[in-house]
Amino acid sequence: KIAPVADELGRLFEAKGHELAVVGGPVRDLLLGRIGNDLDLTTDARPEKVLEIVKDWADAVWTIGIDFGTVGLRKGSQQIEITTYRSESYDPRSRKPEVMYGDTLEADLERRDFAVNAMAVRLPSHEFVDPYGGLADLGAKVLRTPGPPERSFDDDPLRMLRAARFASQLRFTVHPATLAAMSAMADRIDIVSAERVRDELDKLLSGADPREGLRLLVDTGLAARVLPELPKLRLEIDEHHRHKDVYEHTLTVLDQAIAQEEDGPDRVLRWAAIMHDVGKPRTRRHEQGGRVSFHHHEVVGAQMTKKRLAELKFPKDFVTDVSRLVELHLRFHGYGTGEWTDSAVRRYVRDAGHLLDRLHKLTRADCTTRNKRKAAALARTYDHLEERIARLADEEELAKIRPELDGNEIQQVLGV
Q: Tell me the residue number closest to ligand ATP, measured at CB.
A: 25
Binding partner of residue 158 among ligand ATP, Mg ion, none, CB under 5 to 8 Å per kind?
ligand ATP
Smallest distance, Mg ion to C-beta of residue 38, A: 4
d(CA 138, CA 135): 5
Q: State the angle between helix axes of 246-259 and 210-220 in degrees (0 to 180), rounded to the nearest 10.
A: 160
Smallest distance, ligand ATP to C-beta of residue 160, A: 10
d(CA 147, CA 145): 6
Residues 9-38: x where in contact with Mg ion by CB under 5 A, - otherwise, as a string: ----------------x------------x
Of 161 and 278, which CB lies nearer to Mg ion in the complex structure?
161
Q: Is the dihedral of CA 380, 385, 391, 394 positive or negative?
A: negative
- Give the H/E segment covering residue 74: strand 70-75
200 close to 162: Cβ distance less than 8 angstroms: yes
Smallest distance, ligand ATP to C-beta of residue 379, A: 37
Of 112 and 276, which CB lies nearer to ligand ATP in the complex structure?
112
Of 38 and 91, which CB lies nearer to Mg ion in the complex structure?
38
Give the binding site for ligand ATP (CB under 6 A).
24-25, 36, 38, 40, 112-113, 117, 156, 158-159
Of 24 and 72, which CB lies nearer to ligand ATP in the complex structure?
24
201 close to 158: Cβ distance less than 8 angstroms: no
Of 162 and 270, which CB lies nearer to Mg ion in the complex structure?
162
Binding partner of residue 112 among ligand ATP, Mg ion, none, CB under 5 to 8 Å per kind?
ligand ATP
Of 206 and 283, which CB lies nearer to Mg ion in the complex structure?
206
Binding partner of residue 342 among Mg ion, ligand ATP, none, CB under 5 to 8 Å per kind?
none
DSSP-assigned letter for residue 339: P
Residues 35-64: x where in contact with Mg ion by CB under 5 A, - otherwise, as a string: ---x--------------------------
d(CA 216, CA 333): 33
Amino acid occupying residue 17: G
CA dihedral 273, 326, 265, 160 (to 10 degrees): -60
Of 34 and 370, which CB lies nearer to Mg ion in the complex structure?
34
Residue 164's SS3 state is helix
Smallest distance, Mg ion to C-beta of residue 186, A: 25
Render 5-34 in DSSP notation, one character per residue: HHHHHHHHHHHTT--EEEESHHHHHHHHT-
Smallest distance, ligand ATP to C-beta of residue 51, A: 21
202 vs 63, 267, 327, 386, CA distance in Å?
A: 26, 8, 21, 30
d(CA 248, CA 244): 8
Residues between 367 and 396 that touch Mg ion (CB under 5 A): none
Smallest distance, ligand ATP to C-beta of residue 111, A: 6
Smallest distance, Mg ion to C-beta of residue 168, A: 16
Of 83 and 283, which CB lies nearer to Mg ion in the complex structure?
83
Smallest distance, ligand ATP to C-beta of residue 305, A: 25
Q: Tell me the residue number closest to Mg ion, measured at CB.
A: 25
Residue 101 has a CB neighbour count (10 Å cut-off) of 14
| Interface with Mg ion (CB under 5 A) | 25, 38
